[in-house]
Amino acid sequence: MNQKLKNQIISYFAEDWGESSPQFEACTKIFDYLLSYPVDQLTHLTYSVLKKTIGDNYSTAELLKATQYLCGDKVSLLSLYFEISDEDDYYVDINYDDIRYARKTGKLIHPRTGEIIEDYEAKVFIYFKPSSLINEVQNS
């Protein structure tokens, strides 16, 4: 493990949030969780998985702030993905450009069928994967 890089990332958490903030603690717990498994075992992290990881002492808003930060440019420990569940409970990945288009137009086109998805916001789910930075910390 690249301890120097790990410490640098944690110092960013402290610098940006302050060591006594809930976001610092949440980011640190998520980071430790990501480092505790091989990256290929963490391919579909949902908010509920991350919530269990940090515990019940944090609000949904605190978790959202932490995950948004961890997807950002400065530390980029998580990569954000979208998926949709269709009527057969088949999950299909949706790219970000399609989500942006749907937000502008109110129409999301199913990537497999080409059909317009009614009430798409209720059917689109967010999930995360560890970024390449996690690999770098684990394997250096």
pLDDT, tens digit, 9 for 90 and up, residues 39-94:
999 999 999 999 999 998 899 999 999 999 999 999 999 999 999 987 777 889 99
Whether 56 and 104 map to the same domain: the answer is no
Indicate if 97 and 57 belong to the same structural domain.
Answer: no
- Distance between CA 73 and CA 139 in Å, rounded? 21
Q: Same domain, yes or no, for 59 and 97? A: no
Residues 49 and 117 in one domain: no
Identify whether residues 67 and 107 lie together within a single domain: no
Tokens of 47: 């908010």
pLDDT in tens, 93-113: 999 999 999 999 999 999 888
| Rounded Cα–Cα distance for residues 3 and 113 (Å) | 47
Q: What is the pTM of this model?
A: 0.90
Q: What range defines the domain where residue 105 resides? A: 82-124
d(CA 96, CA 51): 24
Same domain, 11 and 74: yes
